[in-house]
Amino acid sequence: MYAFVGCLAFAKIKKDKDNNYVALDGYLEHLDACINSKPQQPPPLHINETVKIIAINMLKAQVHPAAILEDNMKFIELNLGGNVLIDNERFLLTSQDIINFRNSITKDVLDIDIRNSVEKNIHQIFEVNDDEVIKASTVYYKPKQSNNDRLMLVLATPEQRKLAWKYGHNGIIHFDGTFGFSNKKVLLFVLLVVNQDNKGIPIGYLLFSAASGAQRASSSYNHAILKELLKQYKDKISIENNHEFLPKVAITDTDHKERLALLEVWPHIHLLLCEFHIIQCWENKMKQVLGSHGGYDVVSYRKDMKEYLIRNS
């Protein structure tokens, strides 16, 4: 940015349809003050404090960033006549502003600096931090201390552990993994029970990092890791209730590693396959054998088979 010194020099260049220069016109004599001028930093445009507070409060309320930016544009249109700059204040937010606000919230609330490594920040939360809620909800924490090591974490609030005992002991638990929930190659497995109202309630979260150098987090685990985390979870609930925590039935998908880990932690547990995954496997097999479309007979057979599976699952 250059300060205006009264110089009127300008050039107008014309091209033809073939992108060839055909004309040059203008006033080409610069003033000495213009020739000798230096670039200047524009004055900083501070984000309006009201706009900033609104955005931060929305982030704390878990509003999606896209909705915050849309709300910001509506605010400008309705209250400022579409003006995004007034004096030295900026009213229009950007995606980077939202990221900066979120980082600021993270720093203020959890005392975490996202510029640090993930391992260092996790250690800050689960080892250094004195937050009583986090301490009470941490069943097991093993930091990643080398490239050949893994981060391991088991989380369950006291309330979740009570519900695990109420509905899971001598009852049914569900166990399943979720991949791709984090860009840091961390895997998440969830334990769940169903209450008297037939509502699913998560009762524990098993998290661990992928092996070093793994291209895909979803294939970077074995039954031994799941066994270790499940045992830590089981032991915690058993100690709290002065009795071994013994679910009678576990429902899983077709993951053999999950099923083997459950059997080694609870040797007498009965394993059932999830109805959804059974039907999904049959549908995939039918598509493989019969194709995705087909004539009337094929479509009719596929429909009859699906109805049979639903009735008998």
Residue 78: CA atoms inside 13 Å, Cβ hemisphere, count? 6
3-class secondary-structure state, position 100: helix
**Pair 22, 15: CB distance under 8 Å:** yes
Interhelix angle 223-241/256-265, rounded to 10 degrees, is 40
Pick from 237, 152, 212, 143: which is nearest to 188 by CA?
Answer: 152
Q: Tens of pLDDT along 183-192?
A: 677 889 999 9
Q: Residue 218: its pLDDT value, please?
A: 63
If we measure between CA atoms, which residue out of 134, 155, 161, 140 comes closest to residue 205?
155
Q: How far apart are CA 121 and CA 110, in angstroms?
A: 10
pLDDT at 220 over 80: no
Q: Would you state the torsion angle of the CA atoms of residues 163, 226, 208, 130, taken in this order, to the nearest 10 degrees?
A: 40
150/211 Cα distance (integer angstroms): 7
Q: Which has the higher per-residue pLDDT, 129 or 149?
A: 149
- The DSSP annotation for 27-73 comes to E-PPPHHHHT----PPPP-EEPHHHHHHHHHHHHTT--HHHHHHHHH
Question: What's the confidence (pLDDT) of residue 144?
Answer: 83
- Which range scores top for mean pLDDT: 130-134, 269-273, 300-304? 269-273
**pLDDT value for 305:** 77
Q: What is the pLDDT of residue 67?
A: 95
What mean pLDDT is predicted for residues 211-220?
A: 68
pLDDT tens readout for residues 51-98: 999 999 999 898 999 999 999 999 999 999 999 988 889 999 999 999
Work out the pLDDT band at 313, boundaries 50, 70, 90.
low
Report the run of H or E that residue 156 belongs to, with start and end. none
**Residue whose C-alpha is closest to residue 247's, from 223, 271, 229:** 271
pLDDT at 183: 67
When pLDDT is averaged across residues 158-182 and rounded to a whole number, the result is 91
Distance of CA 190 to the CA centre of its chain: 15
Whole-prediction pTM: 0.65
